[in-house]
Structure 1
Amino acid sequence: MENNTDLSDVAQVLWDNDVNRLQPGIDYKIDLQDRAGQILTNADVTDGAGLPLFLFVNEEFFKKKTFSAFISLLDNYESDTRQPEIITPEEEREIHTFLDAVMETPVLQIAHRYLVEKGRAKVNKEQFKQQLYDIWFSLYARKGGSSQPDSSGFEHVFVGETRGGRTVIGFHNWIQFYLQEKLGHVDYRGYTMEKNHLKPDENKHLITLQFSWKKGVKPRGSCFMGVSPEFEFALYTITFLSSSGRHQKLRFSQYEVEIVCHSNKYKNIETTYPILLQYLAVTSWR
């Protein structure tokens, strides 16, 4: 898998313009503790972390428009894929509030221009907003779930779902993790390592971890840390709309990452998440 130079370049521009990103060790602090153990059964999991992952988060950031709009969406979904989703009029308004908020940010405006240049998005902003709604928020029946619409790309990636009451699927967002851990719904089990055997660094913005949530277990999940909702939304949207393949290798800031991105037969986002491949040598970064 070769580095996608074009997507890497625009990812770097997004990164440089993510003005709402939190600083590790300053705006938030995590405690990785030990490596997670092997999962035998849900009841037999070696816990590599006796303490929570998050030691501190400056929640003043959550008052920012995009963070606030994002957080309002997190309680709108049934996590069990056996339960069909019903979007109320209020929840529909919250979706549009979020889309309006992120579209005002530099990173979504950059993403929009890039996608227009590539012929992947409409110039008209309202049409682009509808495109974002369709790929992220349109409901569909997830394989192995209900026969009725029970999932969406946004729910899967940013909120998380459970399958069969035993397995956590999706759930690749640090804000949701922090808020659920604060409520006592998430039990952090320790960090995990990819095939490169690279241990995560708590002072960087990408980790892979194991945790339990709502009686289910996520054996291995990766996510960006401290980034704004608009950064992830923009990066994943660009990867989804401009990529012909399911896996794209990008290099930006201090990271080489693989962005996994799958669609379903309805052309919605089914899942997308980052995998850390290596840390890059840089002299400075934001």
Structure 2
Amino acid sequence: MAEPLEEVNFLADSAHRSVILAALHEGPYSRAELGTITGASSATLSRILRAFERREWIVRTDHRYELTPIGTFVAIGFDDLLHRMEIEWQLRGIWGRIPTELLEFDLEWVMDATVTPSSRDDPLAPMDRAAEIERDAARSRILTHALPDPCLSAHRHGTTTGTHRLEAVVTQDVVRTVAGTPHASWVGSVLPCDQLEMFVTDADVPHVIGINDDTVYFGVDDEKGAPLALIETSDETVFTWAEWTFETYRREAVALTPEMFSRLYEADDSDDQSSLSSKLVVKK
């Protein structure tokens, strides 16, 4: 088994080797073109090309190098390994916060996933990516315990211009928060229209799930609710799970009407702390 592992190490031990292999998988290149792509010195490039030729991964025709069938086989396999390790690296440390149901599926769904992590330089990157997805979607269905301003702004723009339809199942805290922002008038004005449907749930919503056209995203938060990452995918199994989860919550939720929204949040301060769920039951 040592020899195959040594070949993996041969490719992994040099960024130039893997870049050349990936480039040739796209099509034939001349030596000069490969030098431009990699930035490798002439001597380094010569060593790599000779090593690839000895392994019969490449052939040279009319001063251009191209992969052989076995070279293509290696390129595809190594690219798959790199992609898997990139995904694993991005998700390292947050696996335990991904919805349990998704971890029970065949984890091949992560091969299609795009991960937007938070960072010290950009702690709100997951939130901004969610807003970007929603801004471009014709139809959004979201199940959430939080609606941050970037996402509200994206939905507000889309629904008021008529390019976007939003169906949202939210917690009581979300309605309270929205009512205290400049977006409150938008919610009240758009609720009577076909562009927005909002449902309020008393149930715990542990994960933010968004279904935007044919793409699903879900948020991964830390123990304090701060965003750690946004994971998006078009995998059919995950999409089916997301639709089922959204519909399950929506069936048990209370539809929010403009009248309810107005009565609930134009009340005096002494009424603010009363139960939203009881108000919805009485007013609906």
Does TM, scored on the shorter chain, surpass 0.5?
A: no
TM-score (norm 1): 0.27
Higher CA-based Rg = 2
Q: Whose helix proportion is higher, 1 or 2?
A: 2
Q: More relative contact order in 1 or in 2 (CA 8 Å, sep 6+)? A: 1
TM-score (norm 2): 0.27
